[in-house]
A and B are shown apart, each in its own frame.
Chain A
Amino acid sequence: MEISYYPGCTLKTKAINFETSALALLEKLDVKAIELKDWNCCGVMFSQSQDNLMKQLAPIRTLIRAKESGRDRLLTLCSMCYNTLKRSALFIQENEDKRDKINDFMDLEETEYFGNEIEVVNILTLLDEIDKDKLKASIVKDAKDLKVATYYGCLLTRPKEVAIDNVEDPQIMENLLEAAGCKPVYFPFKTECCASFQVVSRKDIARERTRKIVDSARKNGAEMILLACPLCEYNLDKLQKELHEEDSTFETLPVLYVTQLLAILAGVDPEINDYSKHYIDPRPVLERKGLL
Chain B
Amino acid sequence: MKKIGVFLCHCGINISATVDIEKAMEALKDYPGVAHIEDYKYMCSDPGQQLIKKKIKDLGLDGVVVCACSPTLHENTFRLTVKAAGMNEYKMEMANIREQCSWVHKDKTVATEKAIKIIKSVIEKARLDEALDPIEVDITRKAMVIGAGVAGIQTALNIANSGYEVILVEREPSIGGKMAQLSETFPTLDCSQCILTPKMVEVSNHPKIKLMTYSEVVDVSGFVGNFKVKVKRKATGLDWDVCNGCGLCTEKCPKKLPSEFDQGLGERKAIYRPFPQAVPNRVVIDFENCTYMQSGKCGICQKVCPVKAIDFDKEDKFVEEEVGAIICATGFETYSVKDIPEFGGGKLPDVVDGLTFERILSASGPTGGEVRRPSDGKVPKDIVFLECVCSRDPEHYLPYCSKVCCMYTVKHAMLYKHRVHDGQPYVFYMDMRTGGKGYEEFYQRAAEEDKVVFIRGKVSKLYQDDDKIVVCGVDTLSNETIEIRADMVVLATAIVPSKGIRELTKLLKIQIDQHGFLSEAHPKLRPVESLTAGVYLAGCAQSPRDIPDTVSQASGAASMVCTLFANEKLKHEPIIVGVNEDICSGCGICTVVCPYDARKTNLEKKLVEVNEVLCEGCGACAAACPSGAAQQNNYTDNQINAMIKAILGKGG
Q: Give residues in A with beta carbon < 8 Å to B.
A: 166-169, 186, 188-189, 216, 219
**A168 and B342 contacting across the interface, CB-CB below 8 Å:** yes
Contacts of A186 in B (CB 8 A): 347, 464
Contact across chains for B341 and A188 when beta carbons are under 8 A apart: no
The reply on B461 being an interface residue by CB < 8 A is yes
CB-based contact B341/A169 at 8 Å: yes
The complex places the Cα of A189 from the Cα of B342 at a distance, in Å, of: 11
Convert B456-474 into 0s and 1s, putting 1 for each residue whose CB lies closer than 8 angstroms to a CB of A. Answer: 0000010111000010000
A166 and B341 contact, CB distance less than 8 A: yes
Interface presence of B345 (CB below 8 A) = yes
Report the number of A-B residue pairs with Cβ-Cβ less than 8 Å: 19
| B343 nearest in chain A by CB position | A168
CB closest residue in chain B, given A219: B465
- Complex: chain A residue closest to B461, CB-CB: A188
**Cβ contacts under 8 Å, B341 to chain A:** 166-169
New A-B contacts (15) at CB < 8 Å, excluding given A188-B461, A188-B464: A166-B341, A167-B341, A168-B341, A168-B342, A168-B345, A169-B341, A169-B342, A186-B347, A186-B464, A188-B463, A188-B465, A188-B470, A216-B463, A216-B465, A219-B465
Contacts of B464 in A (CB 8 A): 186, 188
Among residues of B, the one whose C-beta sits closest to the C-beta of A186 is B464
Hey, which chain A residues are within 8 Å of B465, CB to CB? 188, 216, 219
Bound complex: CA A188 to CA B343 (Å): 10
Which interface class (under 10, 10 to 19, 20 to 34, 35 or more) fits B?
Answer: under 10
Q: How far is the CB of B597 from chain A (nearest CB, A)?
A: 43
A189: which B residues are within 8 A, CB to CB? 463
Q: Can you give 7 contacting A-B residue pairs, CB < 8 Å? A: A167-B341, A168-B341, A168-B345, A188-B461, A188-B464, A188-B470, A216-B465
Question: B463 — which chain A residues lie within 8 A by C-beta?
Answer: 188-189, 216
What's the minimum C-beta distance from B354 to chain A, rounded to whole angstroms?
A: 21
Complex Cα gap A192–B463 (Å): 12
Choose among A167, A188, A216, A219 the residue with the greatest number of B CB atoms under 10 Å from its CB: A188
- Bound together, the chains give a CA A167 to CA B463 distance in angstroms of 16
Report Cα–Cα, A188/B462, bound state, in Å: 8
Q: Which residues from chain B sit less than 8 Å from chain A, CB to CB?
A: 341-342, 345, 347, 461, 463-465, 470
Tell me, rounded to whole Å, the shortest Cβ–Cβ distance linking A191 to chain B.
9
Residues of A within 8 Å of B345, CB to CB, are 168-169
How far apart sit A199 and B257, CA to CA, in the bound complex (Å)? 53
In the bound complex, CA of A186 to CA of B463 (Å): 10
Q: Which residues of A contact B342 (CB under 8 A)?
A: 168-169
Q: Nearest chain B CB to A200's CB is how many angstroms away?
A: 23
Q: Which residue of B lies closest to A189 (CB)?
A: B463
Q: Return B133 CB to nearest CB of chain A, in Å.
A: 58
A243 to B463, CA, bound (A): 24
Task: Report Cα–Cα, A154/B243, bound state, in Å.
Answer: 60
Shortest Cβ distance from residue A187 to the other chain B in the assembled complex, whole angstroms: 9
Assembled-state Cα–Cα distance A123/B119 (Å):
68
> Which residues of the other chain, B, contact A219 by a CB distance below 8 angstroms?
465
Bound-state Cα–Cα, A216 to B341, Å? 18
On chain B, the residues within 8 Å of A188 by CB distance are: 461, 463-465, 470
Bound-state CA distance A186–B470 (Å) is: 14
Q: Give the top 7 A-B pairs by smallest Cβ distance, nearest first.
A: A188-B463, A169-B341, A168-B341, A168-B342, A169-B345, A166-B341, A186-B464
A-chain residues with CB within 8 Å of residue B347 when the two chains form the complex: 186
Distance in Å: Cβ of A270 to nearest Cβ of chain B: 34
Chain A proximity of B545: nearest CB distance (Å): 30
Residue picked from A168, A169, A189, A219, most chain B C-beta under 10 Å = A168
A215 to B, closest residue via Cβ = B465
Determine how close the nearest CB of chain B comes to the CB of A168; give it in whole angstroms: 4
Q: How far is B342's CA from A169's CA once the two chains are assembled, in angstroms? A: 7
Residues of B within 8 A of A216 (CB): 463, 465
User: Separation in Å of the B485 CB from the closest CB of chain A?
Assistant: 13
Q: How far is the CA of A166 from the CA of B470 in the complex (A)?
A: 21
Distance, CA A189 to CA B463, complexed state (A) = 9
| Contact residues in B for A169 (Cβ distance below 8 Å) | 341-342, 345
Q: In the bound complex, what is the Cα–Cα distance between A168 and B341 (angstroms)?
A: 6
Give the nearest-CB partner of A167 in chain B. Answer: B341
Closest CB-CB distance, A215 to chain B, in whole Å? 10
Hey, which chain A residues are within 8 Å of B470, CB to CB? 188
**In this complex, what residue of A is CB-closest to B345?**
A169
Smallest Cβ-Cβ distance to B340: which chain A residue = A168
Docked CA distance A219–B463 (Å) = 13
B467 to chain A, nearest CB (A): 13
Distance A98 CA – B463 CA, assembled complex (angstroms): 43
Q: Measured between alpha carbons, how far is A186 from B345 in the docked complex, in Å?
A: 12
In the assembled complex, the CB of A181 is this many whole angstroms from the nearest CB of chain B, namely 23
Q: Once the chains are docked, how many angstroms separate the CA of A166 from the CA of B341?
A: 8
Q: How far apart are the CA atoms of A219 and B470 in the complex, in Å?
A: 14
Q: Report the minimal beta-carbon distance from B463 to chain A, rounded to whole angstroms.
A: 3
Complex CA gap A189/B347 in Å reads 15
A142 smallest CB distance to B (angstroms) = 28
Q: How far is the CB of B567 from chain A (nearest CB, A)?
A: 55
Query: Which residues of chain B are near A166, meaning CB under 8 Å?
Result: 341
**In the complex, A197→B347 CA distance in Å?**
33
B561 to chain A, nearest CB (A): 46
Contacts of B461 in A (CB 8 A): 188
In the docked arrangement, what's the CA distance between A274 and B135, Å? 89
A214 → B minimal CB distance (Å): 14
Question: Which residue of A has the minimal Cβ distance to B342?
Answer: A168
Task: Tell me the smallest distance from the CB of B344 to a CB of chain A, in Å.
Answer: 8
- How far apart are the CA atoms of A73 and B342 in the complex, in Å? 32
CB-nearest residue of chain A relative to B460?
A: A168
Taking the closest CB of chain B, its distance from the CB of A174, in whole angstroms, is 13
Give the CA-CA distance A155 to B185 in the complex, in Å: 46
CB of A216, distance to nearest CB on chain B (Å):
8
- What is the CB-to-nearest-CB distance from A175 to chain B, in angstroms, rounded to a whole number? 15
Shortest distance from the beta carbon of B22 to any chain A beta carbon, whole Å: 50
Which residues does chain B contribute within 8 Å of A167, judged by CB atoms?
Answer: 341
CA gap between A166 and B463 in the complex, in Å: 17
B335–chain A nearest beta-carbon distance, Å: 15
CB distance from B468 to the nearest CB of A (A): 12
Of A166, A167, A169, most buried by chain B (CB within 10 Å of CB) is A169
A219 to B464 alpha-carbon distance, docked (Å):
11
CA distance A169 to B337 in the complex (A): 13
A168 vs B393: C-alpha distance in the bound complex, in angstroms?
Answer: 15
**Closest Cβ of chain B: how far from A165's Cβ, in Å?**
10
| Closest A residue by C-beta to B466 | A219
Q: Report the minimum CB–CB distance from A205 to chain B (whole Å).
A: 13
CA distance A188 to B461 in the complex (A): 9
CB distance from B338 to the nearest CB of A (A): 11
**Smallest CB–CB gap between B396 and chain A, Å?**
8
Give A189 to B461 CA distance when docked, in angstroms: 10
Q: Give the complex CA separation of A166 and B345 in angstroms.
A: 12
Complex: A189 Cα to B462 Cα, angstroms: 10
Min CB distance, B481 to chain A, in Å? 13
Closest to A170 in B: B341
Give, as a whole number of angstroms, the nearest-CB distance from A139 to chain B. Answer: 27
A166 to B339, CA, bound (A): 11
**Whole-angstrom distance between the alpha carbons of A219 and B345 in the complex?**
21
Query: Complex Cα distance A68/B228, Å?
Result: 66
Min CB–CB distance A211 → chain B (angstroms): 14
* CA of A205 to CA of B470, assembled, Å: 20
**Minimum Cβ distance to chain B for residue A83 (Å):** 19
Instruction: Name the distance in Å between A209's Cβ and chain B's nearest Cβ.
Output: 13
**Residue in B closest to A187 when the chains form the complex, CB atoms:** B463
A216–B463 Cα gap in the complex (Å)? 10
Q: Determine how close the nearest CB of chain A comes to the CB of B375; give it in whole angstroms.
A: 14
Within the assembled complex, what's the spacing in Å between the Cα atoms of A49 and B347? 40
How close is A236's CB to chain B, nearest CB, in angstroms?
18
